[in-house]
Amino acid sequence: MNFDKSSYQEIRSLVEKKYPLAKLMVVSKNRPASMIREAIQEGALLFGENKVQEAEKKFDELRKDFNDIELHLIGPLQTNKVKQAMKIFDVIQSVDREKLVKEISKNHSELLRTQKFYLQINIGKEDQKSGVFPEQTKTLYDYAVEQGLNIVGFMCIPPNDKEPDTYFYQMIELKNSINPNLLLSMGMSGDYQSALKHQTNCIRIGSLFFNDQ
């Protein structure tokens, strides 16, 4: 299996020409460093990983050759891995509870790589998914800001079995009600076109680029 260069260039061209406020993230979880190198050679610099240790193993080596890589954590973060994560990731998109906010605040330092954070919103209120419920988001946002976290946006994963447009629109309304200047990270391989039409600032594409579909 190789990195699908044609799919990457097609989606990259779409984003750059029609949605210049959005960024294209390559979700590289469970992919070897060799495939990530292929993506970098095609111009990809923004990557998303789900697990701290996996990301550390791959990107410590890759950054020796490519120091302009931007790496985001998009998977759940355990409190005992906060300090390790903040050494590796430029951005953590999966802040979802006060206990995690407190641990990040305790470990925060200008010397660590992570300086930007997103709150993960469980927009569909699904028991099996991480994220703060929409009605609790303002409380968590205010707490995170009080604790000194630089919250730059909200991230979500809408229900797989429902039309995503409604949930993306709810994300826009939620953001605007709390802080209109926040960014939105929403849209994956199956629904990125809808997300682009709903003001996303970051689409997270994995399976389309690695021929999983």
Q: Walk me through the domains of the chain, giving residue ranges and CATH numbers.
A: 5-13+22-208 (3.20.20.10)
Q: At what angle do helices 52-65 and 33-41 cross, to 10 degrees?
A: 50
Stated pTM of the model: 0.96
Q: What's the pLDDT tens digit per position in 36-74?
A: 999 999 999 999 999 999 999 999 999 999 999 999 999
Could you report the per-residue pLDDT of 98-143, keeping only the tens digit for each? Answer: 999 999 999 999 999 999 999 999 999 999 999 999 999 999 999 9
